[in-house]
Amino acid sequence: MKTIGVLGIQGAIEKHIEVVRTLGDRAVRVLEKEQLKQIDALIIPGGESTSILSQLKWYDLFEPLRQALQEGLPVFGTCAGLILLAGELDALDVTVRRNAYGSQIDSFKTNLKVEGIDHEIPAFFIRAPRIEQVGEGAEVLSRFQNNPVLVRQRQGSCMAAAFHPELTDDVSVHKLFLDNL
Ligand code: GLN
């Protein structure tokens, strides 16, 4: 059984914890840097990336997290989590544009084909970032209207989604991440 940390700052923290437990692993809410050494992987939920970033610094977690990721701590980010992994946390070779699918009222649900998953998965896009460029270090696992929406770093175990898989009953995207650890 693996121990999966869920960054406990903002977003659907409990939902991610529930999905991890459904898949048979242990889940803990992470808010202290010491915990980064006690987990096999971390999930960064969505929310507001600027606010998550300032709270990461407030909790004295930003540098320790960046370093842990550089040292190979596997990570899965959703939405704002993707924005931070592609930006300040510097763990994913893609560039993103925040809120590029529109504002809150433009949020939508769709079904996606995902490489490595044998059925279409439901996905919520909520003030989602658009992945505008994918560098050589990353690969695309899913697209929506030709835009990459699920990406993975080729080296190591960093995966990120522009959407929210945790808000549906389908646990396949988390399973894809956990199976690759
Ligand atoms: N719009 C948010 C941001 O820019 C991300 C939204 C989300 O995580 N659902 O950080």
Q: Where are the domains of the chain?
A: 3-179
Residue 95 has a pLDDT of 98
Query: So what CATH class is 3-179?
Result: alpha beta
Burial 134-152 (b: 16+ CB within 10 A, else e): eeeebbebbbbeeebbbbb
Does the beta carbon of 49 sit less than 6 angstroms from any atom of ligand 1? yes
Q: Give the ligand 1 atom nearest the CA of 79.
A: 8
- Summarize pLDDT for 135-178 with one digit per residue, the tens: 999 999 999 999 999 999 999 999 999 999 999 999 999 999 99
Select from 169, 163, 45, 174 the least CA-distant residue to 108.
163
Q: What is the mean pLDDT of the chain?
A: 97
pLDDT at 105 over 90: no
- Rounded distance from Cα 32 to ligand 1 centre (Å): 23
Q: Which band of pLDDT confidence, cut at 50, 70 and 90, is reported for residue 106?
A: confident
* pTM score, whole prediction: 0.97
Q: Taking phi first (over 0 means left), then psi (-120 to 50 degrees means alpha), and beta for anything else, what does residue 26 get? A: beta
**119 catalytically annotated:** no
Closest CA to ligand 1's atom 6: 127
